[in-house]
A = this chain, B = another copy of it.
C-alpha cells in the first residue's frame, strides 16, 4: 500500500508497518510520484508499506474503560482520516468500520489522518448492528450521535466501556444501527444549519469523554 505526505510517511516509519520502499522528490519524475499516490498532495514524500493491519473488533472492548468509535458508512476519506486523528489524540481504544458501504483505510485516509492510523487500532466488521449488540453484551454503553437528538452529548456519564456511533455524511445512522444504540445524543445547534460535520461531531464527543474521565 502507498502512503504519502510528510506526516503520514513519518508516522508509518514510527508505526507497526514495514516500510518497503521510499521515494523522495527528485528520485523519480514528479508526475510519477503523483501517479503512485493518485493525488498531487504528496509533499514530495511517498512510501510503499505493508497492507493495513486491521485488528479484531472484539479486542477493542477488552479494557474496562474502552472507548470505541463505530462509524456507519462514512464516505469521505477526509472525514475518516480526521476522525482517526482525533480518536488517536483522545486515546481511544480504536475504530470500527463496516466491511461494506463505507471508505476504509486508503492512502488518502492515511494522509488525512496525519499518520494517526499507524498508531490506532482499526477493525472491520461484517455487520455493525451485530457488533453493537455484542458490545452491549460485553457491558459497553452504546451512544449514537444524531443531529437533533434531545439529549445533549454532555448528559451521559461516560465511565466504563463506551461505544460512540456516528452515521454517514448526509444519511446519518441506518435504522438497525440506530436501534442498536442505548441512547441518542446530539450537539445543540444554535445557527441555521441542520447538522454539523461528522468529524467535528466526533472530536466533540471524544473530548467530552476525555474531560469527564479526567475530572469526574
A197 to B89 alpha-carbon distance, docked (Å): 10
A11 close to chain B: CB less than 8 A: yes
Which residues of B lie under 8 Å from residue A115 when comparing CB positions?
193
User: Min CB distance, A159 to chain B, in Å?
Assistant: 16
Given the complex of chains A and B, what is the CA–CA distance between A203 and B89 in angstroms? 14
Segment of A50-58, A80-88, A171-179 in the binding face: A80-88
Please tell me if the beta carbons of B204 and A190 are within 8 angstroms of each other in the complex.
no
Determine whether A31 belongs to the interface, using a CB cutoff of 8 Å to chain B. no
Complex CA gap A45/B90 in Å reads 38
A204 to B153, CA, bound (A): 12
Chain B residues lying within 8 Å of A152, measured Cβ to Cβ, are: 211, 214
Q: List B contacts of A211 (CB < 8 A).
A: 152, 154, 208
A196 and B86 in contact, given A154-B215, A188-B214, A207-B204 (Cβ under 8 angstroms): yes
Q: Please pick, from B82, B119, B187, B190, the residue contacting A193 in the complex, using a CB distance under 8 A.
A: B119
- A114 contacts chain B at the CB level, 8 A cutoff: yes
- Indicate whether A116 reaches chain B with its CB closer than 8 angstroms: yes
Residues of A within 8 A of B (CB): 11, 14, 78, 82, 85-86, 88-91, 114-116, 119-120, 152-154, 187-193, 195-197, 199-201, 203-204, 207-208, 210-211, 214-215
Can you name 26 A-B residue pairings with CB atoms under 8 Å?
A82-B197, A82-B199, A86-B197, A89-B187, A89-B190, A89-B193, A90-B190, A91-B190, A115-B193, A116-B191, A116-B193, A119-B192, A152-B211, A152-B214, A154-B211, A154-B215, A187-B207, A188-B210, A190-B210, A196-B203, A197-B203, A199-B200, A200-B200, A200-B203, A203-B203, A207-B208
